Amino acid sequence: MIGVIGATGMTGRALVAALKAKGSDFRCLVRDTAKAADTLGSDVELVQADLADAASIEAGLQGCDKLFLLSGHSPVMVEQQLNAVNAAKTTGVNHIVKLSGGSFIIKEDTPALIGRGHWQIEQEIRASGLDWTFLRPGFFMQNFLNMAEAIKGMGKVMMPVPADVGLGMIDVRDTADAAAGVLTSEGHAGQVYELSGPNVTPAEAVAAIGNAIGKEIAFIPVPMEGAIGAMKERGMPDWLVDHQSTLMGIAADGNMATYGNDLIEKLAGHAPRTPADFARDNAGAFTA
C-alpha cells in the first residue's frame, strides 16, 4: 500500500491519475476528505490527516509500506514533513519517495528558506534508517500558469531572466509519472533522481503558448529589483520573495539548465513533454 501526502496539488493530482492508470493500491492522506473527493474522484481511498498533527499522520499511514511525500512551500514545511517522516518510522513504512526541490537550490547555505528546508528534510530522511528516493525536478512549465492574467490581459510575460537562457523545463505530469514509476517498482532506494527535459529558453516557452492560442506573446526581461518590488507590492511574504528571487537569480545565471539525462523516459516510460504539449493542453488557461 502506498500512502500519498500532497495528493490535491497539481503534481499530486497527476500522481493520483498515474497510480490509478497502473491499478496501484494507494491511499491519500488529506486535510478535507469531502473536498479531496471532489478533486480526486470518489474512487480514491481518502483518510483525514493533517501534517501539523503527527497522530493523524500515524493513523493514516497504518498498513502502508511506501510513502510519497509532498507539501506546499511554507515556513513550517520542515516541521510538517518531519512529522510525516517520524510517522513513517513508527508505522512500518519502509520507503519514502520525497518530491524535493531542484538540485540547484537544495543546499545547506542557499539564501532561500525553502531550499534550506528541503536540504534539512533530505538529511533527516537519509538518517531515518528507511529506504528513500529523492526526486529533484527542474523548472516547472506550470509556472507559466501564474502568468496567465498578464498573457490574457497584456499579451506579455515579464521575468527577471534573459530571453535566451536555457532552462531545464519539466511538466509536473512528467514528475508525477516518474514518481509513479518509482513507487510501483523496485531498485530505487538511495537514489537522487534529477528530472528535466532538454533546455528550453523562456522565449521559446512563451512562443509555444502564443502558438497554442493563436496570439503573439512578448517575452520581456525585467530587472530583478523590479520583480522583487512587484512581488512585495502584491503582498508576498518575505520568505517567498527570497525563494522566488533566489530561483530567478539561479536561472538568470544559467544554472537551472537541463540535467542532461534520460530519467523521465526511464522512470515514466515516455519521452518528456514539450512546451508545445504543455501549451496545447493548457491553452484554455491563457485565453479570456
Assess if residue 235 is contained within a domain: no
Burial of 145 per CB tally in 10 Å (0-12, 13-18, 19+): middle
Q: Work out the mean pLDDT of the chain and round it to a whole number.
A: 95
- Between 110 and 136, where is the model more confident? 136
How many domains is the chain partitioned into structurally? 1
Residue 126 has pLDDT above 90, yes or no: yes
Question: Tell me: the pLDDT tens digits for 11-54?
Answer: 999 999 999 999 999 999 999 999 999 999 989 999 999 999 99
What CATH number is given to the structural domain containing 37? 3.40.50.720
Burial of 26 per CB tally in 10 Å (0-12, 13-18, 19+): buried
Assess if residue 227 is contained within a domain: no
- pLDDT (average), residues 238-264: 92
pLDDT bin (cut points 50, 70, 90) of residue 7 is very high
Assess if residue 280 is contained within a domain: no
The three cell numbers locating residue 268: 515514466
Percent of the chain's residues with pLDDT above 90? 90
pLDDT at 269: 96
Question: DSSP letter string over 198-259?
Answer: SEE-HHHHHHHHHHHHTS--EEEE--HHHHHHHHHHTT--HHHHHHHHHHHHHHHTT-S---
- pLDDT (average), residues 226-234: 89
Assess if residue 246 is contained within a domain: no
pLDDT at 111: 83
Residue 19 domain boundaries: 2-138+171-195+258-268
Assess if residue 164 is contained within a domain: no
Rg for the chain (alpha carbons), in Å? 19
Assess if residue 22 is contained within a domain: yes
Q: What is the pTM of this model?
A: 0.94
Shortest CA distance to 260 belongs to which of 103, 68, 112? 103
Residue that has been written with the C-alpha cell 479570456 in this structure = 288
pLDDT bin (cut points 50, 70, 90) of residue 199 is very high
Rounded to whole angstroms, the Cα distance separating 243 from 254 reads: 17
Assess if residue 204 is contained within a domain: no
pLDDT at 113: 87
Assess if residue 154 is contained within a domain: no
Question: Tell me: the pLDDT tens digits for 170-196?
Answer: 999 999 999 999 999 999 999 999 999
